[in-house]
Amino acid sequence: MPANITLPESGLAVVAHAAGGLRIEDIPLVPPHPDQAVVEIAYGGICGSDLHYWLHGAAGESVLKAPMVLGHEIVGVVVRAAADGTGPAEGSAVAVHPATPGPGPGPGVVKYPEDRPNLSPGCTYLGSAARYPHTDGAFSRYANLPTRMLRVLPDGLDLRTTALIEPASVAWHAVSRAGDVRGKTALVIGSGPIGALTVAVLKRAGAARITAVDMHPRPLEIAQAVGADEVLMATDVEAIAAVQADVVIESSGSHHGLASAIQGAARGGKVVMVGLLPSGPQPVLISLAITRELDLKGSFRFNDEIDDVITALADGSLFVDPVVTHVFPLERGLEAFETAKDSAGSGKVLLSFAPVALGTVPLPTGDWSAL
């Protein structure tokens, strides 16, 4: 990429204004800070939080108070390197770690393990309304991003597949919270994109037998494609309880799913909760968890697991391709969000930003939306 490339003054972006108020609009491209590179976005994956901002004007307790650019699952190409000399060179394909850890505002000190910055109270995330002013995301043609967020991608990796790096890192972190899973039986409740990616990570980590659960057949097909040995419908309560898994990953984000996770865990087993339940009190089969001495563990975002995911994708040991089911150009962004909302018929839905730096990136044959 030539160093003297002329960038436009503005570009299209996906902006959430309020519940039901999603727009594809032109936003200005402001000058980057010295530690920021300008990245031309190639693909962006639509996350559950993006859907919540669109549908409800909030994701959990993070409420929209002003228009915000969505998007944190992104890959692209550096078209202007950072002025301070840090970070990747122009022309580098990069994935993005969207977190900025921080101690949080106010005089009080909130304790958290130093080696787990994802738990820092002041952590911000691209495309998050947790704080005000909000942290804009990168569902835009161009994004100014701090170089500390950028991870250079090895040659040969398909950018469409690398759009899964961020959610795969969430899945990797969840599996790591369970400890060593080699030779153990595993149960995954909820086979949406995070659940399916969790199946793929469990497979790579050496789980002996993986059972995936969902409400719909299509997500179960994807889970099988990435490594599930058995699939069960969520309504088959008796079969789920009979699994008696050593490790259970709950990724449905519902109290019904958590109940199934506890019932399907073996005595002395581990239940990792990566699906984010609604805020407030939730019904939980806590008595059963106590009498079975289950270890209930939370899992939130990720830390340096993103580097392990990139390595595993590069060496071929992590197979995730079937998780992407649809790709839409940015101009059809509203249609993309409608498709992503349909969890029965879609896996991970990507937006293509058709960057000039990449030219035309062909899609594999199969059941994909036409660009």
Q: Residue 133, preceding bond cis, omega within 30 degrees?
A: yes
Residue 359, domain member (yes or no): no
Give the pLDDT confidence of 49-83 residue by residue, as tens digits: 999 999 999 998 899 999 999 999 999 999 999 99
pLDDT of residue 280: 87
Give the pLDDT confidence of 270-318 residue by residue, as tens digits: 999 999 888 889 999 999 999 999 999 999 999 999 999 999 999 999 9
Between CA 139 and CA 28 the distance in angstroms is 13
Q: Give the mean model confidence (pLDDT) for residues 166-190.
A: 98
Tell me the pLDDT band of 367, cut-offs 50, 70 and 90.
very low
Whether residue 320 has pLDDT greater than 60 = yes
Whether residue 8 has pLDDT greater than 50 = yes
Residue 310, domain member (yes or no): no
Whether residue 354 has pLDDT greater than 90 = no
CATH number, position 139:
3.90.180.10
CATH number, position 246:
3.40.50.720
Looking at the structure, tell me whether residues 212 and 231 fall in a common domain.
Answer: yes
- Where in the sequence is the domain holding 94, given as residue range(s)? 10-164+320-352
Whether residue 109 has pLDDT greater than 80 = no
pLDDT of residue 67: 97
Residue 127, domain member (yes or no): yes
Between CA 159 and CA 152 the distance in angstroms is 12
Whether residue 193 has pLDDT greater than 80 = yes
* Site of tokens 């994708």: 313
Please indicate whether residue 357 or residue 307 has the higher confidence score (pLDDT).
307
Q: Among 180, 174, 138, which Cα is nearest to 47's?
A: 138
Tell me the pLDDT band of 106, cut-offs 50, 70 and 90.
low
Please indicate whether residue 122 or residue 258 has the higher confidence score (pLDDT).
258
The domain total for the chain is 2
Whether residue 363 has pLDDT greater than 60 = no
Residue 46, domain member (yes or no): yes
- Tell me the two tokens of residue 100: 């900025």
Q: Give the mean model confidence (pLDDT) for residues 131-148.
A: 96
Between CA 123 and CA 62 the distance in angstroms is 13
Between CA 331 and CA 186 the distance in angstroms is 40
Looking at the structure, tell me whether residues 332 and 348 fall in a common domain.
Answer: yes
Residues 6+ positions from 269 with CB-CB distance below 8 Å: 244, 245, 246, 247, 248, 292, 294, 295
Looking at the structure, tell me whether residues 160 and 175 fall in a common domain.
Answer: no
pLDDT of residue 368: 27
Looking at the structure, tell me whether residues 194 and 134 fall in a common domain.
Answer: no
Residue 242, domain member (yes or no): yes
Between CA 269 and CA 134 the distance in angstroms is 40
